[in-house]
Amino acid sequence: EPYPLAGRSPQRLRGAGTDVSYAMAERILITGGAGFIGSHLVDRLLAEGRHVTALDNFDDFYPEQIKRANLAEASRCPNFRLVEADIRDRRTISHLLQAGRFDVVVHLAARAGVRPSLKDPLLYNDVNVTGTVNLLEAARQARIERFIFASSSSVYGNNSKVPFAEDDRVDQPISPYAATKRAGELLCYNYHHLYGMNIFCLRLFTVYGPRCRPDLAVAKFTRLIETGEPVPMFGDGSMRRDFTYIDDIVDGL
């Protein structure tokens, strides 16, 4: 049967030159909430008066103290809660979504990085695919209103057509990481098709800004510049890449 909404009626916001109507989501779960993008989204939603729960397992992809520091400001807010758990833990995830009465799940948690996925594809599949299925199934059972999935521009592979478009073919991923993100999109479509769930898949393009993950190029380059060391150049210098500022990503989310 169609997937029912929780029945929350839209609230109308009125102000100078505005007449905007939308459903105000009060309780939001953010997986990967201690990470670069997740912690910025946590701060933005708390500033808007939302009740936010961040889920993170503080894995060893980069130092745990960096992620703890990302949530330093949020931890002082009474509307914030941190849950330390792994998205692969089906029982814990199911209990959390049943008990949390969330309006929205923002699924940012993932094992990130193209090159590291070549070294450990089994881990990437386990976290990014199995973890996503766990969350989708728990969200279905808990009758969550909306589910937002963070995909990646890497799903476009070696697409030579630019600029990329949402309706481009993305059936030739060139890394295990890209394949897991495409698999996540297909699983999301499957849950929408079968159960009418309201799901949004966002293909994020390389993000930079404060709290940037230490393994990303911008963070590496700025560290080298700060210490007066040379910045390495890979290839012949002809490669170009677009970067997206974190505030714009949060606006989109």
Tell me the β-bridge partners of 199. Answer: 147
How far from 178 is each of 86, 127, 153, 160, CA to CA, in Å? 21, 13, 8, 16
- For 42, residues 6+ apart whose C-beta sits below 8 A from its C-beta are 30, 33, 52, 54, 71, 74, 80
d(CA 219, CA 24): 35
Rg (CA), the chain: 19
SS3 state at 189: helix
245 is catalytic: no
Q: How far apart are the first and last CA of the chain?
A: 28
DSSP-assigned letter for residue 98: H
Tell me the β-bridge partners of 56. Answer: 84
Give me the catalytic one of 62, 177, 189, 208: 177
- For 230, residues 6+ apart whose C-beta sits below 8 A from its C-beta are 224
Parallel/antiparallel/unpaired status of strands 80-84 and 27-31: unpaired
Which residues are designated catalytic?
177
